[in-house]
Amino acid sequence: MPYQIKRRGHTYLYEVDYGEESRVVRIVVRSDAAGAEGLFLVKQDGSLEHADDRPGFGANILAHDGIWPRPPREAIDDARVIARQKAYTAGF
């Protein structure tokens, strides 16, 4: 289920994605403007890490600093639950 926020006249869509990492979950972010997708990794404790340096992802062309807006709390909460389940099934 994608989450949406509006910031400075632009719409950002955040999608929680299982991903291939073992103990984290991805939140992929896209904007209504052309450009790269952003990536956040969410750990079991809910901490968030920018991961735009991974292949296929990049900086936010709409921001002067290139940083993507923080995902909505609901997206982070959903990702945290999935990360805990991934860790549990992997035996971590």
Residue pair 9/24 in contact by the 8 Å Cβ criterion? no
In angstroms, the Cα distances linking 85 to 3, 28, 49, 50, 91 are 21, 19, 19, 21, 10
Threshold 0.85, pTM exceeds? yes
> Taking 60 as the threshold, does the pLDDT of residue 27 lie above it?
yes
Tokens of 47: 């901490």
Please give the average per-residue pLDDT across 31-52, as a whole number: 93
pLDDT band at 66 (very low <50, low <70, confident <90, very high): very high
| Domain edges within the chain | 2-90
